[in-house]
Amino acid sequence: MRPASESGLSRRRRITLGAITVLLTIAALGGALLVGANGGRERLDQASAQAIVGGVTSITQGVVAVFGQVGTDPEQLGHGVRRYEPALDAWVRMGEDEQIGERVVLLIHGLDEPGGIWDQLAPALAQDGHTVLRFDYANDQAVTMSADEFGFALGQLEVHGVRELDLVCHSMGGLVARDWLTRDGYGAGSLRVETMITLGTPHGGSPWARLRGVAEAREQVQRWAQSDDLDPRRLLGYLKDGSGQAGIDLLPGSAFLQDLNARSMPEGLRVICVVARTDEPSTLAGTVGSASARAALRDLLGEDQAGVVLDEVDRLGRELGDGVVPVSSAVMEGADEVIEVHANHRSMVRTIELNEAVRARQGWPDAPEPPAIEIVRDRLQRD
């Protein structure tokens, strides 16, 4: 039997975890979409990206009073560049003067992704002899700000001896890379990007950006669960993750996307777009659209307001593609190669974790390797 103090601490963590997760989700799905009942979709779109922070402000002071302020150290927040160490099967920080080779592969995650997306691709690339890095950033801020962080990271890589770089970008990570690579300042240093592979990047935007608050809750909870100290303050990571502007930037037709898509990629940079298509509705559409969830929403919000939420979910669920990004949006104009795979937005590069757990529990064989992994390995082969 565990000591009472440890049991109490675990209980306090669970309470904190549950409260923040629930309130983040309600703020995103409820607060943002309720606006649509009175103000229409245009108002709904702008409100949804701002709803998360506003929806949890009332609990933030209380949590901080109990556990202290959330830290700002990039290492604590998980930002910056780390190197994959095959012997440890882990990501490690590079030494200040560590030289890692002239050519590396850099992985850039998407919106509200805690990092597990690379769990299978990184070991595969390392097995092929690549030095594999990952770049993490405050992904809920404006994409231009994330691109600033990316540009700074590239400058740091030059210090570590890197001269040639291949990028693999999942979802919004492709927009972060494109924003920096198409600025006037790119090319001033000695580092050059040779190949950029985008996996489900919403080059034309994603209608699911309106409901991205659920992913924000998932990101912070998973980062907390994977931390060494299980410090509850990590659950307040959304406060340092940006203001929600990324959700606005990802909306189809946003000012950011119009500006980005008017720019040309640098000469000589090979761009490959991997596009996923699934016949299954998105997880969120299937969950919120279930009979029990519909009834609960009506009890919670009332018939009219619940109707606004459900209509939006139904509409988004009907848009095919990978369940998050429509096929047409995942193709960048001028790409050198477009490859289509049968998967959803996440399973194209990472086996769904629940699927793994079920197979392990039942003693079933491992799931097939996500289809984008073989494509990335093949396109990044070196002579």
List pLDDT tens digits, range 240-266. 444 467 878 988 999 999 999 999 999
Give the per-residue pLDDT at 73: 46
Look at 59-73, 172-186, 347-361 and tell me which has the smallest mean pLDDT.
59-73
Look at 11-15, 89-93, 106-110 and tell me which has the smallest mean pLDDT.
11-15
Give the per-residue pLDDT at 175: 97
Give the per-residue pLDDT at 271: 98
What is the CB-side half-sphere exposure of residue 119 using CA atoms within 13 A?
Answer: 14
- pLDDT interval class at 222 (50, 70, 90): very low
Give the per-residue pLDDT at 24: 45
Give the per-residue pLDDT at 32: 41
Q: Name the residue with higher pLDDT: 345 or 39.
A: 345
- Which string of DSSP letters, residue by residue, matches 215-269? HHHHHHHHHHHHSSS--GGGGGGGGGS-SSHHHHHTSTT-HHHHHHHTSPPPTT-
pLDDT exceeds 60 at position 193: yes
Look at 96-100, 245-249, 254-258, 363-367 and tell me which has the smallest mean pLDDT.
245-249
- pLDDT interval class at 321 (50, 70, 90): confident
What single letter denotes the amino acid at residue 206? Answer: S
CA 338 to chain centre: 22
Question: In percent, how much of the chain has pLDDT > 90?
Answer: 43
Q: Name the residue with higher pLDDT: 44 or 130.
A: 130
Give the per-residue pLDDT at 235: 44
Range with the largest mean pLDDT of 60-69, 280-289, 356-365? 356-365
Mean pLDDT of 183-189: 84
Give the per-residue pLDDT at 25: 47
- pLDDT interval class at 280 (50, 70, 90): low
Q: What gap in Å lies between CA 329 and CA 374, rounded to an integer? A: 23
pLDDT exceeds 80 at position 113: no
Give the per-residue pLDDT at 288: 52
State the architecture of 74-207+251-279+320-379 in CATH terms: 3-Layer(aba) Sandwich (3.40)
Look up the pTM and report it.
0.69
Mean pLDDT of 80-98: 95
Residue 353: name the closest of 342, 341, 366, 340 by CA: 366
Q: Please name every residue paired with 105 in a beta bridge, in sequence order, or none if there are none.
A: 132, 166
**Average pLDDT value over all residues in the chain:** 75
Mean pLDDT of 286-312: 68
Give the per-residue pLDDT at 276: 93
Q: What gap in Å lies between CA 8 and CA 10, rounded to an integer? A: 5
pLDDT exceeds 50 at position 23: no
pLDDT exceeds 80 at position 268: yes
Q: Name the residue with higher pLDDT: 19 or 301.
A: 301
Q: Name the residue with higher pLDDT: 192 or 318.
A: 192
Q: Which two tokens stand for residue 145?
A: 């700000």
